[in-house]
Structure 1
C-alpha cells in the first residue's frame, strides 16, 4: 500500500476566540513535524481556547497522539483550553484505551467544540 503521507494543517482565525486548527490527512511520524510547527506558531494566552478539528484525519499513529498530548500540555501551561473535534470513533476508542479521554474533551463538530470553549 502506497502512503504519500499527505497532511494539511490550517489555522482558521476566529472572530472572537477560540482558534481553530484543522488537521486533515495522515498524522504519523512523517507528518507530525508539520503539526508541531503549526502548534509552535500559535500564541496561547490565559483564557484563550484552541480547537483542533480532526474531522479530516484519515490516520493517526502514536507520534500523532503524542503531538496532541503535548499540545494539551502547552495549552494547560498557558492557561488556555483545548478541545478536539470530529474524531473518528475508532481513534476515540484508542484514546479511551490509553486513558486520554480524561485529558481531552471530544466533540462531534468544530462548532460544538467552539461553543464548549466560549
Structure 2
C-alpha cells in the first residue's frame, strides 16, 4: 500500500487520503454533518477522476452522520458508477451503520467490516 497521506478538512471531521494499489482510501474520523461534510466532499473531488476509479471510504471512526453525510455518499456512489468505477464502505456498526440501514444505502453500496475486507473484495461492486 502506498501511503500518500493528505489530510483534508477541519473541525469535527478529519479525512485522511491514502492510495492502495490504485484504490483511493478515505479514512474519516469524527462527525459528518452539514458543517463538516465539506471536508468529505473536497476529498472526494480529489479522488482519481480517471475512468474506472475505485474508492473505499472508511467510516469505522465516524461517530455521527446526518443526511449531509448520506447525500455525500450517494453522490460519491453515482460518481463512481458514472466513471465505470466502484465505491465501497467500511462500517463497523453503531449509529453510522444504523443510519445507512435506515435509508437503505447499505443495500446499494457494498459495506465491509474492515478496510482489509473492502480492499480484498474481488467483486467490482461488492
Contact kept, 8 Å, 1:7 with 1:23, in 2: the verdict is: yes
- Counterpart position of 2:22: 17
Deviation at 1:93, TM superposition (A): 2.5
- Counterpart position of 1:46: 51
**Residue 8 (1) aligns with residue 14 (2):** yes
- Higher RCO (CA < 8 A, seq sep 6+): 1
| TM-score using structure 2 length | 0.81
- RMSD, aligned α-carbons: 1.9
Deviation at 1:48, TM superposition (A): 3.1
**Residue 34 (1) aligns with residue 48 (2):** no
- Counterpart position of 1:96: 101
Contact kept, 8 Å, 1:47 with 1:79, in 2: the verdict is: yes
Q: Of Structure 1 and Structure 2, which has the larger fraction of its residues in strand?
A: 2
Deviation at 1:117, TM superposition (A): 5.0
Gaps of 5+ in 2: 1-10
- Counterpart position of 1:110: 115
Contact kept, 8 Å, 1:84 with 1:113, in 2: the verdict is: yes
Q: How many residues align?
A: 114
- Counterpart position of 2:7: none
| TM-score using structure 1 length | 0.86
